[in-house]
């Protein structure tokens, strides 16, 4: 039987304290490594199961490890001497991926189960878990004119099959490691994150990246048509990556948010049709729209209620979709034309 460890006030985090970040070959964790490096942290251990050549970002001076953190022994190795652990590794993607590969999504439970235990045993001071708006009750998301979701809307539980349930159970692990064992955990529920250095092709990409790529392709191939999944009326909010990494940092270091799930998302609600119009405007083009009602589309509407984050942090994600999309479009266009020229790019 484990006993609760003595909960002490944190000493100041030193610039050479070891910070571990999993999923670092991917989009959000890769950007988090960059953000913390720029803040001056000198001992960062970045971990991903993907080969290094497929990581979106690799920062100089960072210890990069290629390890599968669904394996218990690897988690022990990864958490050795860690002062803080950010666990962002998960098998995930956009609707096309999470509706089709529910087993893969559910199996991510192994990652958090072993990581949180290894972090606790290593004496880690703080542990961050990346949850998702997919943990919310889907019955509250059946209308495009959705009421924004507040933190208490996860229960009574009826999460998105597969991916959402894994997130909800992993959140509970984090809450109980605090309640029973005194590990300070932070839990953020991300709402659709987008931006440069993320997946833009290959089947795991999310709507903003997919729309940018489709518009770029249409222009390049001089075929001014676009196929949109669903009927274009579904609504979502999208958070720019810079807001996401800033929010992770703020949430991780607040004692009054320990073991408390909190929304981290934009509340600028747009329909898929509006998203396409915004990308068209950036590209300076108008495309003929075709709708594919049989494609995966997810819930009808989803938005983030930011009352709690505003109250707690006096801040909320605030990069406008127009601004964030312009930067994302530019990056994906570079990737697209580099690939066309035969240069190696990461998708």
Distance between CA 315 and CA 295 in Å, rounded?
A: 36
Q: Which residue is nearest to ligand NAD (CB)?
A: 26
Q: What are phi and psi of 166, to 5 degrees?
A: -60, -40
- Token output for 39: 């803040």
With binding defined as CB under 6 A, does residue 46 bind ligand NAD?
no
User: Is 240 labeled as catalytic in the residue annotation?
Assistant: no
Q: Is 185 in the site for ligand NAD (CB under 6 A)?
A: no
CA dist 143 and 303 (Å) reads 11
Q: Dihedral sign for Cα 188, 303, 235, 246, please.
A: negative
Residues 192-251 that bind ligand NAD (CB under 6 A): 192-193, 198-199, 206
Binding test (CB under 6 A) with ligand NAD, winner from 89, 262, 275, 309: 89
Nearer to ligand NAD, 70 or 319 (CB): 70
Q: Comparing C-alpha atoms, which of 89, 91, 18, 81 is closest to residue 48? A: 89
Q: 107 to 136, contacts with ligand NAD by CB under 6 A?
A: 111, 130, 132
| Cis previous bond, 212, omega within 30 | no
Which residue do the tokens 């944190």 mark?
10
Q: Considering the candidates 120, 163, 240, 329, report the single residue annotated as catalytic.
A: 163
For 321, the enclosing helix (H) or strand (E) is: helix 321-340
Q: Does 91 bind ligand NAD (CB under 6 A)?
A: yes
Nearer to ligand NAD, 54 or 220 (CB): 54
Residue 132 Cβ vs ligand NAD, minimum distance, rounded to whole Å = 3
- The nearer residue to ligand NAD, 287 or 302, going by C-beta atoms, is 302
Degrees to nearest 5, angle at CA 25 with 302 and 239: 25
| Smallest gap from residue 48 Cβ to ligand NAD (A) | 4
Structure tokens at 264: 């981290």
By CB under 6 A, name the binding residues for ligand NAD. 22-23, 25-29, 48-50, 68-70, 88-92, 111, 130, 132, 190, 192-193, 198-199, 206
């Amino acid at each position: 039987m484990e006993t609760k460890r003595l909960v002490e006030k944190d000493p100041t985090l030193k610039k050479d304290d070891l910070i571990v970040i999993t999923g670092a070959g991917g989009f959000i964790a890769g950007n988090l490594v960059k953000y913390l490096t720029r803040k001056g942290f000198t001992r960062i251990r970045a971990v991903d199961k993907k080969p290094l050549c497929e990581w979106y970002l690799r920062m100089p001076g960072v210890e990069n490890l290629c390890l599968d953190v669904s394996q218990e022994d690897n988690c022990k190795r990864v958490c050795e001497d860690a002062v803080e652990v950010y666990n962002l590794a998960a098998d995930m993607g956009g609707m096309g991926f999470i509706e089709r590969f529910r087993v893969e999504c559910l199996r991510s439970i192994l990652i958090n189960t072993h990581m949180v235990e290894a972090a606790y045993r290593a004496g880690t001071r703080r542990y961050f878990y990346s949850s998702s708006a997919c943990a919310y009750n889907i019955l509250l998301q059946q209308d495009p004119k959705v009421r924004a979701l507040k933190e208490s809307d996860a229960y009574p539980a009826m999460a998105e099959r597969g991916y959402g349930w894994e997130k909800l159970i992993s959140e509970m692990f984090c809450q109980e490691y605090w309640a029973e064992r005194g590990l300070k955990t932070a839990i953020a529920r991300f709402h659709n994150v987008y931006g440069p250095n993320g997946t833009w092709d290959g089947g795991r990409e999310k709507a903003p990246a997919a729309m940018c790529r489709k518009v770029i392709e249409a222009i390049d191939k001089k075929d001014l048509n676009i196929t949109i999944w669903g009927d274009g009326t579904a609504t979502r909010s999208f958070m720019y990556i810079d807001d996401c990494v800033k929010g992770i940092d703020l949430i991780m270091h607040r004692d009054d948010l320990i073991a408390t799930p909190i929304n981290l998302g934009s509340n600028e609600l747009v329909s898929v049709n509006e998203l396409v119009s915004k990308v068209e405007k950036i590209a300076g083009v108008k495309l003929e729209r075709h709708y594919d009602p049989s494609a995966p589309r997810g819930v009808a509407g989803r938005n983030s209620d930011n009352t709690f984050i505003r109250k707690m942090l006096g801040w909320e994600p605030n990069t406008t979709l127009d601004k964030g999309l312009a930067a994302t479009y530019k990056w994906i266009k570079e990737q697209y034309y580099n690939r066309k020229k035969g240069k190696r790019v990461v998708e």
